[in-house]
C-alpha cells in the first residue's frame, strides 16, 4: 500500500495555514488527508489554529477592541505572551482574519492576509465532506489535539469536546485519525468512543507535557519511546497506540559530517513493533531542507527537495505531512 500524503494544515505552502483556501487546495492538489491543529475557545468550541496563542496567524494584534486581552501565560512550562483562544468566545474569534505565519519566507502567501476567517473543527468536517463528493478518492482528517493537559486545567477537556464534535458531525469513521504529543489524551479519546487510528507524536528531545504533570522527574523522555523496546511497549501498552509520527530528521540518516546517507532504521523498527509511522514536515525551501539538499543561500528558494523527499519515501514510511502536497504527491507517484 502506498504512503498517504497529508496536507500539513492544508496546503500551507500555497495559502495561509488552516484556512478554507488551504484545506480545499490541499485536496485539489492530491492530498489524501489534511491536518488541523485543535485548541479551544472560552466557551468550549474547538477551533483550528497552530497554537492557542494566535497573534502570529491572525490580525488580533491590530484589533483595538481586543488590545486588553494581551497577556503572558505559561503553556506546558514555557512563558508565552500574546492573545490566547481560551480568552475569547467563538463569536469574538469569528471576527478575526487569518494571516500567513511565515510572511518573510512565503511572501506569496501573505498576499492572502485578511481574506479568510478562522475555522472551527465542525467547519472542516463540512469542507471535507463537500470535497469528497467531488472525487472518488477517500479523503481523511488527521486531527492534532494541542496542549490537552493545559486546557484540562481550565476545565476545557479537549478529548470530550472532540468526541462530541465528531459524533455530532457523523465523523466517527475510519477516515478520522487523532494525534497528539500527549499520550493520555489519545487514551481519553479512545475511552470516549472515537474510532480511527491514534498516533503518538514524538520529538528527538523533551518530554510529553502530560507525563511531566503526572510523574514529574520520572516522566519518560520522548527518546525512550524511539528504541525498539520503547516502540514495542507503545504497541502493547494500555494506550493502544496505532502508530507514531516523528520529525523527518529522525528518518534521515547522517554521517559524522552531517551529510544524509540514506534512511535510518526507525521505520523498520516501528513496523517490526507493529506500529505505523509517519513523518513531518516535507517542505521544499532551503530553510527546512537538510543541509545536504540545500541549493544556494536564499532560505526561501527551493533546494533539491525531490532528493530529500525520495529518501523519506524510500524508507517505507506510511505517510508524510507536507506543506506543498502536490510536490509530495509528485515524488510519491513517480516511484510507481
- How far is the CA of 197 from the CAs of 2, 15, 142, 180, 246, in angstroms? 17, 28, 9, 12, 16
Report if residue 138 sits inside a domain. yes
Which cell is 248 given? 523527518
Render pLDDT for 183-223 as a digit per residue (tens, 0 to 9): 999 999 999 999 999 999 999 999 999 999 999 999 999 99
Report if residue 286 sits inside a domain. yes
Report if residue 91 sits inside a domain. no
Q: What is the CATH number of the domain that holds 137?
A: 3.20.20.190
Structural domain total, the chain: 1
pLDDT of 237 reads 75
Helices and strands: H and E segment counts in the chain: 12, 14
**Residue environment code for 52-68, b if the CB has 16+ CB neighbours within 10 A, otherwise e:** bbbbbbbbbeeeeebee
Render pLDDT for 300-330 as a digit per residue (tens, 0 to 9): 999 999 999 999 999 999 999 999 999 999 9
Which among 280, 289, 278, 283 has a CA at the least distance from the CA of 319? Answer: 278
Q: What is the pTM of this model?
A: 0.97
pLDDT of 239 reads 66
Report if residue 31 sits inside a domain. yes
Report if residue 22 sits inside a domain. yes
What is the rounded average pLDDT for all residues in the chain?
A: 97
Report if residue 63 sits inside a domain. no
- How far is the CA of 133 from the CAs of 121, 127, 128, 136, 169, in angstroms? 19, 10, 9, 8, 16
Report if residue 64 sits inside a domain. no
Q: State which residues of the chain have pLDDT below 50.
A: none
Print the domain residue range for 320: 4-53+118-334
Report if residue 303 sits inside a domain. yes
pLDDT of 335 reads 84
pLDDT of 336 reads 76
Amino acid at each position: 500500500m502506498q504512503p498517504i500524503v497529508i496536507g500539513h494544515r492544508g496546503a500551507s505552502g500555497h495559502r495561509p495555514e488552516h484556512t478554507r483556501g488551504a484545506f480545499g487546495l490541499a485536496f485539489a492538489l492530491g492530498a489524501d488527508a489534511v491536518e488541523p491543529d485543535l485548541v479551544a475557545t472560552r466557551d468550549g468550541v474547538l477551533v483550528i489554529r497552530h497554537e492557542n496563542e494566535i497573534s502570529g496567524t491572525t490580525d488580533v494584534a491590530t484589533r483595538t477592541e481586543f488590545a486588553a486581552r494581551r497577556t503572558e501565560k505559561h503553556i506546558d512550562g514555557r512563558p508565552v505572551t500574546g492573545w490566547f483562544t481560551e480568552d475569547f468566545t467563538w463569536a469574538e474569534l469569528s471576527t478575526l482574519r487569518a494571516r500567513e505565519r511565515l510572511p518573510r519566507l512565503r511572501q506569496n502567501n501573505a498576499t492572502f492576509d485578511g481574506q479568510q476567517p478562522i475555522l472551527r473543527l465542525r467547519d472542516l468536517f463540512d469542507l471535507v465532506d463537500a470535497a469528497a463528493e467531488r472525487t472518488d478518492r477517500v479523503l481523511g482528517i488527521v486531527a492534532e489535539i494541542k496542549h490537552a493537559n493545559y486546557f484540562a486545567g481550565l476545565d476545557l477537556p479537549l478529548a470530550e469536546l472532540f468526541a462530541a464534535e465528531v459524533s455530532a458531525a457523523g465523523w466517527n469513521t475510519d477516515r478520522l485519525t487523532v494525534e497528539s504529543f500527549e499520550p493520555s489524551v489519545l487514551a481519553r479519546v479512545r475511552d470516549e468512543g472515537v474510532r480511527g487510528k491514534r498516533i503518538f507524536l514524538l520529538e528527538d528531545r523533551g518530554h510529553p507535557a502530560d507525563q511531566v504533570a503526572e510523574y514529574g522527574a520520572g516522566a519518560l523522555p520522548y527518546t525512550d519511546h524511539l528504541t525498539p523496546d520503547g516502540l514495542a511497549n507503545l504497541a502493547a501498552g494500555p494506550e493502544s497506540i496505532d502508530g507514531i509520527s516523528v520529525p523527518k530528521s529522525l528518518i534521515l540518516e547522517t554521517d559524522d559530517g552531517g551529510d544524509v546517507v540514506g534512511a535510518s532504521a526507525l521505520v523498520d523498527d516501528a513496523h517490526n513493533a507493529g506500529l505505523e509511522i509517519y513523518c513531518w514536515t516535507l517542505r521544499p525551501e532551503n530553510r527546512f531542507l537538510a543541509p545536504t539538499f540545500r541549493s544556494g543561500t536564499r532560505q526561501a528558494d527551493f533546494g533539491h527537495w525531490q532528493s530529500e523527499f525520495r529518501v523519506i519515501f524510500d524508507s517505507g514510511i506510511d505517510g508524510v505531512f507536507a506543506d506543498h502536497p502536490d510536490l509530495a504527491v509528485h515524488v510519491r507517484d513517480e516511484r510507481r
